[in-house]
Chain A
Amino acid sequence: MGVMPKWADVVLVPLISLIIAALLSALLILAIGESPVAALKLMIEGTLLRSSGWGYMLYYTTNFIFTGLAVSVAFHAALFNIGGEGQAMMGGLGVALVCLFIPWPHWSFAIIGASLGAAFFGMIWAGLPAYLQAKRGSHIVITTIMFNFIAAGVLNFFLVGALKPKGSMDPATANFPAATHLPTFEDMAGLLGFEKMFRAAPANVSFFLALVACVLVWFLIWRTPLGYEIRAMGKSEPAARYAGIGSVKIIMVAMMISGALSGMMAINTTQGESERLILNFTEGAGFIGIAVALMGRSHPLGVFLAALLFGFLYQGGAELALWTKIPRELIVVIQALVILFTGALTLMVRRPLERLFLSLRRGG
């Protein structure tokens, strides 16, 4: 600490990690017998040069902002919430119950209700492991992993049972009523007079909800007493306790906020896109939140940028799978490399950088 200027720590370390991950992925693409340059070009064309590409990218980004923020809030309290996936699944259940069983007059009310439902269910699903950690000392990483699997079982249970409409074979709920359907980017662009923009893309109004969540999380962490307590607890638990900050309260609150954010991801996928609750709607977004939070250094702005990057990768990866023989799973490899280099192998990136800055300082 203190060897590097802050900007280098915040910008250079993630950037270099990303470059290493990109180079390794390029090697992998070469090994498959495709051209990395052509692949990148294809990804950019399919994502950034078409409005519907943007529509898909921002749809994925919305998910990753929510799950990335969720992991970040827990990171600030030195907790590793690996249960975003399960919390999002439960959030989906909350969204489905709210949308199916309350007669909403308009989507603007429905989204508020669905947010509360999603946040509440996600909160409970993170609150239980938090309670077990705070009161019973069970390791939060293990319990949240277990809760992921339990959530999958619960979701499955409802989708093949009580919530499945009669006579349907699909493990899914009935379609949500039309009044709860969220306006997509296509609808909004149409209202503003831009016809044929974002055609058929799933991005919807919950993207803006994600942006609001970014601002609120920033405000919470750096501008409120609670945020201060969370960070204090994350830096040093004994010091925080000495300062009169109750660790039980902070663990519970931080995890519940984290769970609520994960749960709210379901608004985008369930209410916004599929308009009914389906199995596997989370598609691993809960885990991508880990990569996003690590890459974004747990700062909402960083999370937003990292979520954009991963949104780009996911949409670009779909393009690659469509036009080349590079399967979508390449993106999973990139994601793994990002997690590896920004989270576990940081010293490998940081040590040479620190040495560089030391020698620069001595020289100057």
Chain B
Amino acid sequence: MDFLTLLQVLDSSLRLATPLLLACLAGLFSERAGIFDIGLEGKMLAAAFLSAAIAATTGSVWLGLLAGVGASLLLSAIHGLASITLRGDQIISGVAINFLAAGLTVVISQDWFGQGGRTPPLLSGGRFEPLSLPGAVPAKEISQAGPFMQLYSELLSGHSLLVYVALLMVPLTWFVLYKTRFGLRLRAVGENPAAVDTAGISVVGLRYAAVGICGVLCGIAGAYMATALQAGFVKDMSAGRGFIALAALIFAKWRPWYALYACLLFGFLQALALRPDVIEGALGFKVNVQLLDVLPYILTVIILAGFVGKAIPPRAGGEPYVKER
């Protein structure tokens, strides 16, 4: 395998890791505040649909993004209502949200566009186009460029805006969680909500804020899938990414920088699964594509089982907070 092929695989890893990373950080905010969210998948799917639908009808990708975030926030509001206000089961609420999105996206897109649960393909203007960083050489001339120029042009340049946004979200999340008062409180509410309540800070408010941030990030992740990674919405296009993000979150032990590494790793596995020829060339034997597909889940189970380090979730995760009566 030559250097350029490696760069191509890494490039597609980064593209595939982006929705995982956004969803993973979304889950991180929610779960750090003590709200389990297995509805990441559904929120991404709903956002993907509405962003593609609005971008297709208005021709503006920015309106699409806004609509996608709105759809995701709406589902977040349901999750918040169920798990914070009504103290329902967070897991069940997440399951319901996944189904709600899976069903509604197809029913509505069939009604709006009548194309068997897909939106019309997005034209330019309805999509986030790849950005060319200054000085990057175009794809045609890349084989003549030097290795550093290749690295810069192929791997770092040429992604859509949302890829860079996702990458910037990592330090931002780290900063918010560990360097701000809000972050301290948010983490505290996931560990010991009673203590936060005693300090006179609203547990409900903090948790709604966390669920809201989660909704925004899932919305961006969904919009990225439909308007940047692909050109339009197709039925069930999230394809389990919300669950891989959940796996990455556990793999990262609920920490932002590790979330980046975990998502890059899982993105790399997805990119490899798309290029079986590359693996065969590099290793000299055939690796089963199914194995690559399930590797993120197997790794997560191993981490969860505590065989390699121990993944300890936020202590108050999954429990509704009830003030003492």
A150 to B301, CA, bound (A): 10
Q: What A residues does B293 contact at CB under 8 A?
A: 149, 153, 156
Q: Are A336 and B97 in contact (CB under 8 A)?
A: yes
**Distance in angstroms between the alpha carbons of A275 and B114 in the assembled complex:** 35
Identify which of residues 316-364 in chain A touch chain B, using a CB-to-CB cut-off of 8 Å: 325-327, 329-337, 339-340, 343-348
In the bound complex, CA of A166 to CA of B306 (Å): 42
**A327-B106 contact given A137-B306, A294-B92, CB 8 Å threshold:** yes
Query: Knowing A139-B313, A145-B243, A149-B240 touch, does A132 contact B301 (C-beta < 8 A)?
Result: yes
Cα distance A88–B246 in the bound complex, in angstroms: 23
- A147 located at the interface, meaning its Cβ lies under 8 Å from any Cβ of chain B in the complex: yes
Q: A residues within 8 A CB of B290? A: 153-154, 156-157, 160
In the assembled complex, A138 has its CB within 8 A of some CB on chain B:
yes
Our pick among A82, A157, A345 for the contact of B88 (Cβ within 8 Å) is A345
Contact status B301-A344, CB under 8 Å: no
Interface size on A, as a range, is 35 or more
Task: Please tell me if the beta carbons of B38 and A326 are within 8 angstroms of each other in the complex.
Answer: no
Indicate which residue in A82, A132, A335, A336 contacts B305 across the interface (CB closer than 8 Å).
Answer: A132
A149-B243, A327-B110 are contacts. A157–B91 as well, Cβ < 8 Å?
Answer: no
Most chain B CB within a 10 A radius of its CB, from A143, A145, A149, A329: A329
Q: Is A32 an interface residue (CB 8 A)?
A: yes
Which label, helix, strand, loop or mixed, suits the secondary structure of the B interface? Answer: helix
* Contact bitstring B6-41, A, C-beta under 8 A = 1, else 0: 000000000000000000000000000000101000
B: contact size bracket: 35 or more
Q: Among the listed A31, A150, A326, which residue makes an inter-chain contact with B294, where contact means beta carbons less than 8 Å apart?
A: A150
| Given A146-B301, A150-B297, A150-B298: A80 touches B99 (CB 8 Å cut-off) | no
Chain A neighbourhood of B89, CB < 8 A: 343-344
Does any Cβ of B come within 8 Å of A10's Cβ?
no
**B96 and A138 form a contact (CB under 8 A):** no
Q: For B250, give its contact among A33, A142, A150 (CB under 8 Å).
A: A142
User: How far does the alpha carbon of A142 sit from the alpha carbon of B96 in the complex, in Å?
Assistant: 16
Let me know if B78 is at the binding interface, CB within 8 A. yes
- Distance, CA A131 to CA B209, complexed state (A): 36
Contact of A146 among B96, B107, B247 (CB under 8 A): B247
Can you list, as one digit per residue, whether each of B79-109 has a CB less than 8 Å from chain A (1) or not (0)? Answer: 0011100111111110111111011101100
**B301 to chain A: closest residue by CB:** A146
With A136-B306, A149-B297, A336-B99 known as contacts, the answer to whether A142 contacts B288 (CB < 8 A) is no
- Within A12-37, the residues touching B (CB, 8 Å) are 28, 31-33
| CB-CB nearest in chain B for A328 | B106
Q: How far is the CA of A215 from the CA of B255 in the complex (A)?
A: 48
Q: Considering the complex, which residues of chain B in the window 94-130 have a beta carbon less than 8 Å from any beta carbon of chain A?
A: 95-100, 102-104, 106-107, 110-111, 114, 117
8 Å CB interface, B240-295 against A: 240, 243, 246-247, 250, 288, 290-291, 293-294
Q: Given A149-B294, A327-B107, A344-B88, verify A339-B301 contact (CB < 8 Å).
A: no
**C-alpha gap A195/B88 in the complex (Å):** 51
For the complex, give the distance between the alpha carbons of A339 and B305 in Å.
29
Which A residues lie within 8 Å of B246 (CB)? 142, 145
Q: Chain A: which residue is nearest B240 at the CB level?
A: A149
CA distance A345 to B80 in the complex (A): 11
Q: Any chain A CB within 8 A of the CB of B76?
A: no
User: Which residues does B use to contact A, with CB under 8 Å?
Assistant: 36, 38, 78, 81-83, 86-93, 95-100, 102-104, 106-107, 110-111, 114, 117, 240, 243, 246-247, 250, 288, 290-291, 293-294, 297-298, 300-301, 304-306, 311, 313
Could you show 14 A-B contacts with beta carbons less than 8 Å apart? A138-B304, A141-B91, A146-B300, A154-B294, A157-B290, A160-B290, A329-B103, A329-B107, A332-B99, A335-B99, A336-B100, A340-B93, A345-B88, A347-B86
Q: Which 5 A-B pairs have the closest CB atoms?
A: A332-B103, A336-B99, A153-B294, A343-B92, A333-B103
| Interface contacts beyond A329-B103, A330-B107: sample of 4 additional A-B pairs, CB < 8 Å, sorted by A | A28-B107, A31-B111, A336-B98, A346-B86
